[in-house]
Amino acid sequence: MVKIKSKGEIQIIKEGGRILAGILREVENKSLPGVTTEELNRLAESLIFKYKGKPSFKNYLGFPAALCTSINEEVVHAVPSKRVLKEGDILSLDLGMEYKGFHSDMAVTIPIGKVSPEAQHLIRVTKKSLKRAIRNVKLGNTLGDIGNSIQRYVEGQQMGVIRELCGHGIGRDLHEEPQILNYGKRHKGLELKEGMVICIEPMVTLGDWHIKESKDHIALVTRDGSLSAHFEHTIAIFKNGPEVLTV
């Protein structure tokens, strides 16, 4: 069942989303060659507590950290560790925070130092696919319109849209209905309603879209070893259009 939020509830999510975006920006700025992903996790968690929030991901379904730090072929859910970031890596940072009883969630993919032109293009395409999806968040449109806008653009760039993972509703729970697929058909699926709050999160690869579990059985990686990128925002739906809450 899709939970419709009041204006007051959306305002709380927006307040938390602004804080979350600032925290993630600080983590981005510290994501440099020679830094470990464990260090980035410690920074993210300390900042969440500083702003009187709680890490949404820590201990959720057994995940042991506040921050997901997925590198290169890792798509999502990579656990921070003593792994050192290297020049040429691309790093996906995914972070959620509970604030005043409501969750917000966002993700970015960034280059570590100088990266290949192909990696730069992957990051640009993934980020742009999210922007295109957000433009389709309007009353009368459907979830299929959102997914189709991502799929058409990404596949038009000869890249793969990961299908086994998706976005989601969000609120008092980190993951709520509905599921927000990154592919689909126009005018199909649930119609968007005022008061819905959703997370759209395209995950894109330079190669095939199929994924598999990593050796730790937590992270998910591309099956063919190709690079992957991930962007996400928390978005509220209003009569006059979408509002991105994680900025």
pLDDT of residue 8: 98
- Closest by CA position to 167, among listed 123, 106, 209, 210: 106
Residues with Cβ within 8 Å of residue 39, at least 6 apart in sequence: 30
In this structure, which topology does domain 7-244 adopt according to CATH?
Answer: Creatine Amidinohydrolase (3.90.230)
pLDDT digits (tens, 9 = 90+) for 197-234: 999 999 999 999 999 999 999 999 999 999 999 999 99
Q: How confident is the model at residue 125 (pLDDT cuts 50, 70, 90)?
A: very high
pLDDT digits 0-9 by tens, 139-188? 999 999 999 999 999 999 999 999 999 999 999 999 999 999 999 999 99
pLDDT above 90: percentage of residues in the chain = 100
Give the CA angle between residues 110, 48, 196 to the nearest 5°. 80
Mean pLDDT over each residue of the chain, to the nearest integer:
98
% of the chain exceeding 70 in pLDDT: 100
> Confidence class of residue 116 from pLDDT cuts 50, 70 and 90?
very high
pLDDT at position 78:
98
CA angle 241, 126, 236 (to 5 degrees): 25
Dist. CA 121–CA 195, nearest whole Å: 35
Query: What is the per-residue DSSP string for 35-89?
Result: -BHHHHHHHHHHHHHHTT-EESSTTGGG--SSEEEEETTEEE-PPP-SPBP-TT-
**Cβ atoms of residues 226 and 208 within 8 Å:** yes
Q: Distance between CA 81 and CA 69 in Å, rounded?
A: 9
Nearest by Cα to 27 from 113, 108, 146, 148: 108
- Quick one: pLDDT at residue 38? 98
Determine which helix (DSSP H) or strand (DSSP E) holds 2, and give its type and residue range: none
Domain boundaries, the chain: 7-244
Q: What is the mean pLDDT of residues 13-29?
A: 98
Q: Where are the alpha helices (DSSP H) in the chain?
A: 7-29, 37-50, 117-135, 143-156
Q: How far is 183 from 201, CA to CA, in rounded Å?
A: 11
223 CB-contact burial (10 Å; exposed 0-12 / middle 13-18 / buried 19+): middle
User: With a threshold of 0.85, does the pTM exceed it?
Assistant: yes
